Structure 1
Amino acid sequence: MSRLALLAALPLALSAAACQPTGGESPKLERSAAGLEQVPLTIRTAAGKVHNFTVEVAASPQEQETGLMNRPSLAPDRGMIFPHEPPRMASFWMKNTLIPLDIIFVRPDGTIVNIAENTVPLSLEPVPSLEPVGAVLELAGGRTAELGIKAGDKVEWAHTSAPASAQ
């Protein structure tokens, strides 16, 4: 092979190598615009349907306090998860939240306890869990009804960050 052909092939070989995961590791998701870790999350319904989302993890107390406040929109396949370790009663409000949300309260085993659908933007009315929960998931308002997600369905997500209470 001539030097010219070798030099021409080198960038192609380097770019192909750069696209391959190394050491058997799976590619990691980027951080969100807000700087939060993003992880895949799946909801499996009792009817056997599987719905996949990418969620930001609000792990620290400050991240949990801010949540989705001041955001003008939330894509249908996106959301935010608030891990609680140890499990505890949770209550959310919509102060400074500009968009309606479905707030999903999740037991430590991943089972959905209850869902507050289409919460009212900017409301100071508390939205409580009915029992201690291991996590709270927020999705765009109306998504749970649209997808047929109900109490009793199962939430699975990658627990990669330390829970807020452990920090």
Structure 2
Amino acid sequence: MRARRSYSAYILLTVFVVGGLGYLIIPYLRSKSSEPVASIPTESASAPSFVKEGEVTFLSGGKMIKKIDVEIAENEAERNKGLMYRPYMPDSVGMLFIFQESAPLEFWMKNTQIPLDIIYVDSNKKIVSIQKNARPFSEENLPSYADAQYVVEVNAGYTDLHGIKVGDSIQF
């Protein structure tokens, strides 16, 4: 009886060892085959990269507060996409939206991964309202509360950090 248990244990141990080696070796052999291996794109590989198209300077009483590099969204397709699908944005950049006419505006954060401050600016380039810390992926409408022709989007907290407020102005 004792010999049979030892023999059974030996067979069971051998099966586990061979199975374990097979589990480790088969994926290695498959990766060495001539068949192409499908790759899954990473989020950063598919995320749009920043392209500097201009600069926006924030002014208070005619004095410069801060300057950022911006991408410009000046047609409907660019305005609709905005900063969607970007997992990160440096504090030194933003997006400037340019509209043909001044009117009440509303933005939302659908497909936008980073929290933003949305700065509404009138036709005289004066800041009329700021929607602070807009929540990522939110479909809530964030209104300008006044006529606006330009909108600047920056990282959430940027306006508080640099003291940018309603009544200040921009230059681009």
Same fold (TM over 0.5): yes
What is the CA distance between 1:47 and its match in structure 2?
8.8
**Partner of residue 123 from structure 2, selected from 105, 108, 115:** 108
For residues 38-58 of structure 1, give each alpha carbon's deviation from its aligned partner in whole angstroms, at most 9, with x where no partner exists.
Answer: 101100124944200011000
- Residue 33 (structure 1) aligns with: 49
What is the CA distance between 1:33 and its match in structure 2?
3.3
User: Bigger relative contact order, structure 1 or 2, given CA contacts below 8 A and separation 6+?
Assistant: 1
What is the DSSP-based 3-state SS (H/G/I as helix, E as strand, rest coil) of the residue aligned with 1:151?
coil
Contact 2:65 2:162 survives alignment (8 Å): no
**Partner of residue 141 from structure 1, selected from 127, 132, 156:** 156
- Residue 53 (structure 1) aligns with: 68
Q: Could you tell me the TM-score, scaled by structure 1's length?
A: 0.71
Paired residue total? 125
d(CA) in 2 for partners of 1:79, 1:114: 17
d(CA) in 2 for partners of 1:83, 1:142: 22
Of residues 43-52 and 91-100 in structure 1, the stretch that sits farther from structure 2 once superposed is 43-52
d(CA) in 2 for partners of 1:58, 1:37: 12
d(CA) in 2 for partners of 1:117, 1:33: 24
Structure 1: 4+ residue segments shifted above 6 A: none
Q: For the pair shown, which has the larger CA radius of gyration, 1 or 2?
A: 2
* Matching of residue 118 in structure 1 with residue 133 in structure 2: yes
For residues 83-116 of structure 1, give each alpha carbon's deviation from its aligned partner in whole angstroms, at most 9, with x where no partner exists.
Answer: 1111121100000000000000001111000101
* Matching of residue 79 in structure 1 with residue 89 in structure 2: no
% same residue = 35
Name stretches of at least 5 consecutive residues in structure 2 with no aligned partner: 1-47
For residues 121-155 of structure 1, give each alpha carbon's deviation from its aligned partner in whole angstroms, at most 9, with x where no partner exists.
Answer: 01111000111111011001100000000000010
Contact 1:105 1:137 survives alignment (8 Å): yes
What is the DSSP-based 3-state SS (H/G/I as helix, E as strand, rest coil) of the residue aligned with 2:56?
strand
What is the DSSP-based 3-state SS (H/G/I as helix, E as strand, rest coil) of the residue aligned with 1:144?
helix
Q: Could you tell me the TM-score, scaled by structure 2's length?
A: 0.69
What is the DSSP-based 3-state SS (H/G/I as helix, E as strand, rest coil) of the residue aligned with 1:73?
coil
2:123 partner letter: P
